[in-house]
């Protein structure tokens, strides 16, 4: 039999529920990214991707018997500016070169990979390849912070609309903007951010 406690009842009525948002969270390299759950139509095992030899920026896969554009997230999210050769050591040069040439492995291999099917408000869908299964997180709206104008102009990421930080000791998540993510690559070039 439950015992009624007026004190615990008052405490629960004084607490106001904090609005939250559900996010699909995934990692790219060492950074955490998130998309609003409303923008992710489905997560599927990644199959063969066609028409993207040597890691092109886009490819095609078959999804529900239709062609689906698959976007290389490296090309879309990470800005790839040419790094000046300022007398770097050989290990620094190798790291700089690999930073310029990293791209999604389009071919199938033994490791299970995934495809996020992302949809914008207009209903256009694309696939985003990721290497590990995403997770679903409920995040309080107070955890969303706008990125500074300086970072938006000079930072290394595109298609990001906010920073999500629930706890000071946790690494932040970059909230991706589905509209920018799906728009054509030409509009994301310098000056089109």
Kind and range of the H or E element at 119? strand 114-119
**Residues 125, 116 contacting (CB under 8 angstroms):** no
Whether 9 maps to a domain, the answer reads: no
pLDDT per residue over 121-135, tens digit each? Answer: 999 999 999 989 999
Q: Is the pTM of this model over 0.75?
A: no
CA 158 to chain centre: 10
For residue 8, tell me if it sits in a domain: no
Spatial separation of the C-alpha atoms in residues 90 and 97, rounded to whole Å:
10
> Is residue 72 assigned to a domain?
yes
Domain for residue 4, yes or no? no
Q: In terms of Cα–Cα distance, which of 108, 109, 143, 111 is closest to 32?
A: 143
Q: What per-residue confidence (pLDDT) applies to 83?
A: 35
**Any domain includes 145:** yes
80-93 residue pLDDT tens: 643 333 333 444 44
| Residue 159 neighbours by CB under 8 Å, 6+ apart | 76, 77, 176, 177, 180, 181, 188
For residue 54, being part of any structural domain is answered with: yes
Q: Are the C-beta atoms of residues 188 and 76 closer than 8 Å to each other?
A: yes
Q: Is 107 left (phi over 0), alpha (psi -120 to 50) or beta?
A: beta
Question: Within a domain: residue 193?
Answer: no
- For residue 39, the enclosing domain spans 20-80+88-188
Total number of domains constituting the chain: 1
Residue 3 lies in a domain: no
**What mean pLDDT is reported for the chain?**
78
């Amino acid at each position: 039999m439950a015992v009624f406690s007026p004190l615990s009842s008052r405490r629960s009525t004084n607490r106001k529920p904090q609005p939250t948002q559900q996010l699909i969270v995934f990692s790219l390299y060492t950074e955490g990214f998130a998309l609003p759950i409303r923008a992710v139509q489905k997560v599927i095992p990644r199959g063969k991707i066609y028409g993207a030899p040597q890691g092109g920026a886009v490819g095609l896969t078959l999804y529900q018997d239709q062609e689906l554009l698959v976007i290389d997230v490296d090309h879309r999210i990470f800005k790839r500016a040419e790094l000046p050769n300022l007398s770097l050591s050989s290990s620094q040069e190798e790291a700089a070169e690999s930073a310029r040439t990293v791209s999604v492995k389009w071919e199938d291999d033994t490791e299970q990979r995934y495809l996020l099917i992302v949809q914008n408000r207009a209903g256009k869908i694309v696939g985003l390849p990721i290497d590990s299964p995403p997770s679903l997180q409920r995040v309080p709206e107070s955890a969303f912070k706008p990125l500074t104008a300086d970072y938006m102009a000079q930072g290394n990421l595109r298609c990001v609309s906010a920073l999500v930080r629930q706890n000071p000791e946790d690494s932040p998540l970059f909230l991706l903007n589905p509209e920018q993510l799906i728009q054509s690559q030409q509009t994301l070039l310098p000056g089109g951010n």
